[in-house]
Amino acid sequence: MNISGNRFLITGGASGMGRHFTLSLARDGADVAFCDLNEEAIAEVVAEGAKLPGKVVGFKANVAVEEEVVKLITDAAEALGGLDGIVNNAGIIRDGMLAKKDRRTGEIKKLSLSKWQAVIDVNLTGVFLCAREFAAYAIENGTKGVIVSISSISRHGNMGQSNYSAAKSAIVALTKLWGGELARYGIRTGALAPGFTNTPILQGMRPEVLEKMVIPVPLRRIGEPEEMYMTVKFIIENDYFTGRTIDVDGGLVI
User: What are the Cα distances from residue 102, in Å, to 99, 114, 166?
Assistant: 10, 20, 25
DSSP 91: -
Return d(Cα 246, Cα 236) in angstroms, integer. 13
Asked if pLDDT for residue 201 goes beyond 80, the answer is no
Return d(Cα 77, Cα 72) in angstroms, integer. 8
Confidence of residue 200 (pLDDT cuts 50, 70, 90): confident
Q: What is the pLDDT of residues 34-64, one digit of tens each?
A: 999 999 999 999 999 999 999 999 999 999 9
- The pLDDT of residue 203 is 82
- The pLDDT of residue 204 is 78
Asked if pLDDT for residue 8 goes beyond 90, the answer is yes
Return d(Cα 36, Cα 23) in angstroms, integer. 14
- The pLDDT of residue 196 is 93
Residue of 83, 20, 28 whose CA lies nearest to 54: 28
Asked if pLDDT for residue 217 goes beyond 90, the answer is yes
What would the mean pLDDT of 162-182 be, rounded to a whole number? Answer: 98
Asked if pLDDT for residue 21 goes beyond 90, the answer is yes
Which residue ranges form the domains of the chain, and what is each CATH number? 7-246 (3.40.50.720)
Q: What is the pLDDT of residues 108-145, one digit of tens each?
A: 999 999 999 999 999 999 999 999 999 999 999 999 99
Q: What is the pLDDT of residues 79-113, one digit of tens each?
A: 999 999 999 999 999 999 999 999 999 999 999 99
pTM: 0.95
Residues that are catalytic: 164
What would the mean pLDDT of 204-231 be, rounded to a whole number? Answer: 91
Single-letter amino acid code for the residue at 110: K
Count of CA atoms in the C-beta half-sphere (13 A) of 189: 30
Q: What's the mean pLDDT when you consider all of the chain?
A: 96
The answer to whether residues 187 and 145 touch, using CB atoms and an 8 Å cutoff, is: yes
- The pLDDT of residue 209 is 82
